[in-house]
Amino acid sequence: MKKLILFLSLVLLNISCKSQNETIVYKDKVVVSQVNPKLVVGIVVDQMRYDYLTRFYNKYGEGGFKRMMNEGYNCKNNHFNYIPTKTGPGHTSIYTGTTPKYNGIIGNDWFDKNLNKKVNCVEDNSVQPIGTSSNDGKKSPKRMLTTTFADENRLFTQMRGKTIGISLKHRGAILPAGHTANAAYWLDYKHEGAGNWITSSFYMNNLPKWVQDFNTSTITESYFKEWNTLYPIDTYTESGSDLNMFERKFKGKESATFPYNLEALKSLNGNFKIIAESPYGNSLTTDFALAAIDGEQLGQDEFTDVLTISYSSTDKIGHDFGVNSKEVEDTYIRLDLEIERLLKYLDEKVGVGEYTIFLTSDHGAPDVPAYLKSEKIPSGLFDESAMFDDINELLHKKYGAPGLLLSRINNQLFFNHALIEKKSLDLQLIKQTAANALLKYDLIDKVFITSEINIFENINGYVESMLANGHHQKRSGEVLFVYKPAVFKDTPWNRTGTDHHSGFNYDTHVPLLFFGKGILKGSTINRTEIIDIAPTISALLGISFPNGTIGMPLDFVLEKD
C-alpha cells in the first residue's frame, strides 16, 4: 500500500497544469492527452466586406462559407477599431490583438522620419531573397513591434508547434505568422517574376523540397486559362451590369467584360500577375496551402500547429472591378469552393473535430465613387498631390522656407523638422496653418493635429478614437485628415475600381467566423472587434496573449470546460 501511495505521489508531482494539453511526464516518457486542436488555421480574405456572406449566400454551396456559418459561430457585427484600414495593419491587428498604436504597423507603407523616406511594412534589406533574385524576397516581420498568437504558441510549446504563413502578398504571409515562424511564403509574381513561391533568409537558407517540387510543377502555369463565370452570367443577379464604365480593363482587352483569356492577356499584364488578379490566384493559394499541410505534416502530433492563409486575389479583383461587379461575385462563388476544398482536406488529413479555423478580413471596401454618383449618392476623388503642392507653397510664402512638408501618406502630413529647427520656426503654428488650409477643401471632412511630441490629443469622439488607435507616436504623421464618406485619393488606378482606408462601415465591417474544435454553434449581432480574435484563440489554447494585446477573449464562442 505504501509503495502504491509513493508511486501515485511521484506521478502527481510530474503532472503539468492543464493548459495546452494534459501532459503527464513519468521518468523519460511523455504522454499527452490531446485537449487542444491539433491545428489552428487563420484565414484572412483580403477586402471582404461582411455583406459578401449574405449577398451571395444563395450562390454558395453547403461545404464552404455556409458550413462555417451554420456549424460554427458567426460574429455578424465585427469591426476594425482604427484608421487606416489597410492590408498590413489589418493582418497585424488580427494576429496581435492590438492596434497600430502598439503593434507599429501603421500602413502598408509609411514615411520613416529617421530614414527620411517611405518604407514598406515588411521591407528588410538585411535579409536575402530565397527562391528568387528579386528584391521582393528581402522581407521580414522586423517592423512589427509585438508578438502574434502564433509566436506565443511557439514559445509555449518550446518551439515544437510549427507556424507556416502563406499568401500571394508578402505582407499577408509574413505579419500573421509572426517573428518565430518556421516559414512564410509568398508568390514571386511582381516585376516579371517567375511565378514561384519564395521566402527570405529570415526564415531559412534554402527552400524545402516540397516547395521546390511545387515550383517545378506546372500547377501555377495551369491557371493561364480562360476566366469565365462559373454559372450562367444572367444568374448573377446580386451584382450590376457586366458592361459599365466603372471598372478597370486589362491591357489588350476592349472592355472589362467576361470572358478573360489569361493566356492571351498575360504578356501585357505582368505575366503571373494576371493570375493573382483573377480567382485562380485564390485557387493557387489553396493548392500551396494543401501542399504545406502535407509537406510540413501540420496537425500530426500532440503540439498545436498554426497555419495562416491570406487569400489576396479578392483584394486585387476588388480594386480592379469594384464592389458591384460581376467579377467580384464570381470570385466569391469560386472562393466558396476553395474554402470547401480546404475544409475537406483538413477533415481527411487532420481529422474532423481536430482543428479550429477562424475566417475574417483585413478590411472592406466602398462602391466605386463614379457608380455611387450615378445613383445620386455623395462620393468623390481627391487630388492629394495637388493639395500637397498647394499647402507647401502656402507654407513657403507664409514662413519663408520651401519644403516644410516632407510627405503625405495614409491621410497624414509629415513636416521637415530639421528645416523648422534651422529657421527657428514655430512647429505648432505651422501645423495649425496646414490644418486650416486642409479644412477648406470640400471633400475633407475633419482635420486633427497632434501635440509637440506627436501624441494624439482630445480623444472625445468615435472618429477621434479610431485615429488614436491607428496612431503610433514615433511613426505617424502630425496632421491627420478624414475624407467625407465614399471619398478617396484621385489616382489613375482609383478612377475605376475601388480603394479602402477609412473608418466608415464599408471599410470596417468584415466577417468573423469561428469553426471547429472548441467552438460553439451560434451567432451574435453584438459588436466584436478585430483585436478580439488573437486573445480568443489564445484563450482556446491556454497560452499567453500576444504581448501587446488590448482585445478581449470572446468567451461566448468557446465551449466551456
277 neighbors 265 (Cβ within 8 angstroms): no
State the Cα–Cα distance between residues 170 and 186, nearest whole angstrom: 5
State the Cα–Cα distance between residues 459 and 28, nearest whole angstrom: 57
State the Cα–Cα distance between residues 224 and 274, nearest whole angstrom: 8
Look up residue 450 and give its three cell numbers.
Answer: 497632434
Look at residue 469 and give its three-state secondary structure.
helix
State the Cα–Cα distance between residues 481 and 410, nearest whole angstrom: 9
Calculate the alpha carbon distances from 355 to 39, 168, 287, 298, 303 in Å.
5, 24, 19, 10, 12
Tell me which residue of 82, 29, 77 sits closest to 53, measured CA to CA.
77
**Terminal Cα-to-Cα distance of the chain (whole angstroms):** 34
Number of neighbouring beta carbons within 10 Å of residue 551: 24
User: Given 54, 85, 87, 180, which residue is catalytic?
Assistant: 87
169-172's contacts with Cβ under 8 Å and 24+ in sequence apart are 169/46, 169/87, 169/310, 169/312, 170/122, 170/136, 170/139, 171/87, 171/88, 171/91, 171/108, 171/120, 171/121, 171/122, 171/139, 172/44, 172/46, 172/87, 172/91, 172/310, 172/312, 172/362
Name the pairing type of β-strands 444-449 and 479-483.
antiparallel
DSSP assigned state of 559: P
DSSP assigned state of 401: -
H or E segment at 430? Answer: helix 427-439
State the Cα–Cα distance between residues 207 and 4, nearest whole angstrom: 53
State the Cα–Cα distance between residues 357 and 306, nearest whole angstrom: 10
Max CA-CA distance within the chain? 96
- 336: CB partners within 8 A, 6+ apart: 56, 59, 60, 61, 64, 65, 66
State the Cα–Cα distance between residues 232 and 336, nearest whole angstrom: 17
Which residue type occupies 432? Q
Place of cell 484563450: 539
State the Cα–Cα distance between residues 45 and 65, nearest whole angstrom: 12
Backbone angles phi, psi at 525, to 5 degrees: -110, 5
87 classed as catalytic:
yes
> Is the sign of the CA dihedral 254, 258, 259, 262 positive or negative?
positive
Burial label for 101, CB within 10 Å (0-12, 13-18, 19+), is buried
Active site residues: 87
